[in-house]
Amino acid sequence: MFKKILIANRGEIAARVIRTCKSLGIATVSIYSKVDKEAPHVTMADEAYECGNPRVTDSYLKIDKILEIARLSKADAIHPGYGLLSENAEFARRCEEAGIVFIGPSADVISRMGSKIESRNSMEKAGVPVVPGISYPLADAEEAAREAHRIGYPVMLKASAGGGGIGMQIVYNESEMKQAFEGNRKRASDFFGDGAMYIEKVVENPRHIEIQILADSYGNTVHLGERECSIQRRHQKVVEEAPSAYLDELTRSKMGEAAVRAAQSIGYRNAGTIEFLVDGNKNFYFLEMNTRLQVEHTITEEITGLDLVAEQLRIAAGHCLNFGQSAVTRDGHAIEVRIYAEDPKTFFPSPGVITKLAIPEGDGIRHELAVHDGSMVTPFYDPMIAKLIVKGKDRDEAIDRLQQALADYQVEGIKTNIPMLQEVIAHPAFRSGDTTTSFVAKYVLEKT
Regarding beta strands 284-290 and 376-377, do their DSSP bridges make them parallel or antiparallel, or are they unpaired?
A: unpaired
| C-alpha dihedral sign at 55, 59, 63, 65 | positive
Please give the distance of CA 158 from its chain centroid, rounded to a whole number.
Answer: 19
Rg of the Cα trace of the chain? 21
Instruction: Please pick, among 94, 185, 292, 395, the residue that the annotation labels catalytic.
Output: 292
State yes or no: is 338 an active-site residue. Answer: no
What contacts 67, CB < 8 A, 6 or more positions away?
94, 95, 98, 100
Q: Is the dihedral of CA 126, 131, 134, 136 positive or negative?
A: negative
How far apart (Å, rounded) are the C-alpha atoms in residues 255 and 243?
A: 13
59-79 CB burial, b ≥16 within 10 A, e <16? bbbbeebbbebbeebebbbbb
Q: Which of 339, 371, 378 is nearest to 355 (CA)?
A: 371
Strand-pair category, 270-278 with 236-242 = unpaired
Task: Catalogue the active-site residues.
Answer: 292
